[in-house]
């Protein structure tokens, strides 16, 4: 997988991986936002997981409305395994991820691919994200816009997952991302960012972080303590301490 040096976004091709549960209600909007990019993807890999993935309405509807989507089905194995499965299909230099209930702004990928061209040394480029809530009347309400390392807000050199490893299948739904980033940063990954709202993160009652907030916070804090303990054991003692 080559690394380019040109600032021309057209020099780059990228794939998209969308992990999704069967019958995800917002999947169509996520797919539309990926195909409506000002710089469209080369391939979109939809990894549907769940015991009814092959027979669910989403599977048939996606095939009809988005014939260019490459559909992959697997048993109920969770998001981490779905993402790792999608990574095995990527054969070009760059890859982006989109949660099935989120959306991208139209220029998200164009701006990130342009940043790659200007900074061939970086492994990942972030963008800003905004939490978007929907009220009972179906109206959208945007929250605070912030820079983030959420997977859906980041475009990666695909070889980053060869050099720093794929996601840890043993980690939980709430800890896999911080675990991967911790390892990648410790291994020397380099990152860049664009000052643009590229990700519209939908906050809704079915969101796992909303439905299981207390469990998510507990597992995340436990993971951070685990990481801190490993650092304390491996880092050399500083003189005078």
CATH of the domain at 77: 3.90.550.10
Residue 115 in any domain: the answer is yes
Beta bridge partners of 74: 49
Burial of 240 (0-12, 13-18, 19+ CB in 10 A): exposed
Residue 167 in any domain: the answer is no
Residue 233 in any domain: the answer is no
Please give the pLDDT value at position 219. 84
pLDDT at 9 over 50: no
pLDDT at 118 over 90: yes
Q: Which residue has the higher pLDDT, 145 or 64?
A: 64
Between CA 127 and CA 136, with CA 132 as vertex, the angle to 5 degrees is 170
Beta bridge partners of 130: 145, 200
Per-residue model confidence as pLDDT tens digits over 213-223: 788 788 888 88
Residue 221 in any domain: the answer is no
Length of the chain: 241
Report the pLDDT averaged over residues 185-203: 92
Please count the other Cβ atoms lying within 10 Å of the Cβ belonging to residue 56.
19
Residue 140 pLDDT grade (very low, low, confident, very high; cuts 50, 70, 90): low
Per-residue model confidence as pLDDT tens digits over 141-183: 677 677 788 999 999 999 999 999 999 988 988 899 999 999 9
Tokens for 3? Answer: 């690394």
Measure the CA–CA gap between 31 and 16, rounded to whole angstroms. Answer: 10
Find all residues with CB under 8 Å of 29, minimum gap 6, and list them.
Answer: 103
Please give the pLDDT value at position 121. 95
Residue 89 in any domain: the answer is yes
Between CA 34 and CA 17, with CA 99 as vertex, the angle to 5 degrees is 60
- Provide the mean pLDDT of the chain: 84
Sign, Cα dihedral of 184, 202, 96, 112: negative
Residue 175 in any domain: the answer is no
Please give the pLDDT value at position 237. 53
For 108, list phi and psi in degrees, rounded to 5: -55, -55
Q: Is the pTM of this model over 0.75?
A: yes
Report the pLDDT averaged over residues 36-56: 84
Tokens for 221? Answer: 């804090």
Please give the pLDDT value at position 150. 92
Dihedral of the alpha carbons of 136, 138, 141, 145, in degrees to the nearest 10: 120
pLDDT at 13 over 60: yes
Please give the pLDDT value at position 52. 67
pLDDT at 38 over 90: yes
Please give the pLDDT value at position 241. 47
155, 178 Cβ separation under 8 angstroms = no
pLDDT at 1 over 60: no
Residue 73 in any domain: the answer is yes
Report the pLDDT averaged over residues 86-112: 95
Q: Which residue has the higher pLDDT, 202 or 34?
A: 34
Overall domain count for the chain: 1
199, 148 Cβ separation under 8 angstroms = yes
212, 220 Cβ separation under 8 angstroms = no
pLDDT at 55 over 80: no
Measure the CA–CA gap between 38 and 109, rounded to whole angstroms. Answer: 8
Tell me which residue range forms the domain holding 14.
9-157+190-203
Residue 231 in any domain: the answer is no
């Amino acid at each position: 997988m080559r690394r380019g040096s040109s600032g021309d976004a057209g020099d780059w091709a990228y794939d998209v991986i969308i992990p999704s549960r069967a019958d995800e209600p917002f999947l169509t909007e996520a797919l539309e936002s990926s195909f409506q990019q000002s710089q469209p993807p080369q391939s979109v890999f939809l990894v549907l997981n769940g015991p009814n993935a092959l027979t669910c309405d989403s599977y048939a509807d996606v095939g009809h409305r988005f014939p260019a989507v490459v559909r992959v089905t697997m048993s109920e194995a969770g998001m981490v395994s779905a993402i790792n499965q999608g990574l095995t299909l990527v054969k070009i230099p760059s890859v982006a991820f989109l949660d099935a209930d989120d959306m991208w702004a139209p220029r998200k990928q164009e701006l990130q691919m342009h940043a790659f061209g200007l900074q061939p040394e970086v492994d990942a480029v972030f963008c800003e994200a905004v939490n978007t809530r929907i009220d009972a009347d179906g109206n959208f309400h945007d929250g605070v816009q912030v820079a983030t390392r959420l997977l859906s807000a980041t475009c990666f050199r695909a070889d980053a997952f060869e050099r720093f490893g794929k996601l840890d299948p043993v980690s939980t739904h709430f800890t896999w991302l911080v675990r991967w980033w911790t390892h990648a940063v410790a291994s020397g990954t380099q990152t860049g960012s664009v000052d643009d709202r590229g990700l519209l993160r939908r906050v809704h009652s079915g969101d796992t972080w909303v439905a299981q907030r207390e469990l998510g916070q507990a597992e995340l804090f436990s993971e951070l303590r685990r990481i801190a303990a490993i650092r304390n054991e491996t880092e050399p003692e500083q003189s005078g301490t």
